[in-house]
Amino acid sequence: MKTGWWILIGIVIFIILFLAVDQIMIRLPTPGCSTFNPEKCDKTCTIDEDCRSACGCGCINTEEECKTGKRGLISGISMMPQCIQAECKCIAENCKYIGGPLQE
């Protein structure tokens, strides 16, 4: 084969491997509270001051750390968290949004 074909085959293989690694990185589990699994965040409270709004994790306990960021090499760019402008309150011992677009 001509050298050009080998280069083309090499480039195609590199792109396929790059995309496969990107997809694997997206599917890796993230332990604890993060923008990728906000359901694992601690939302318990006793008073309103126990709650705060965290970009990507929602309304969570003030002691909880919400890990944010992107995942993957390409696809992670679209997974950056969005911040919600709403007030967090303690309702029935759970932090919840009051008003705003995501009232729970």
Range of the domain at 80: 3-98
Tens of each residue's pLDDT in the chain, 104 residues: 688 888 899 999 998 888 887 777 666 666 788 887 788 899 999 999 999 988 888 899 999 988 876 655 555 544 555 677 778 899 999 999 886 554 44
Looking at the domain assignment, is residue 103 inside a domain?
no
Q: CA 48, CA 97: separation in Å to the nearest integer?
A: 11
Whether 25 is in a domain gets the answer yes
* Domain count within the chain: 1
- Tell me if 92 is assigned to some domain: yes
- Model's pTM, two decimal places? 0.59
Check residue 63 and give its pLDDT. 93
Q: State residue 3 phi and psi, 5-degree precision.
A: -60, -35
By the 8 A CB rule, do 90 and 46 touch?
A: yes
Residue 27: the pLDDT is 67
Amino acid in the structure at residue 24: I
DSSP one-letter string for 70-88? --SSSGGGGG-------EE
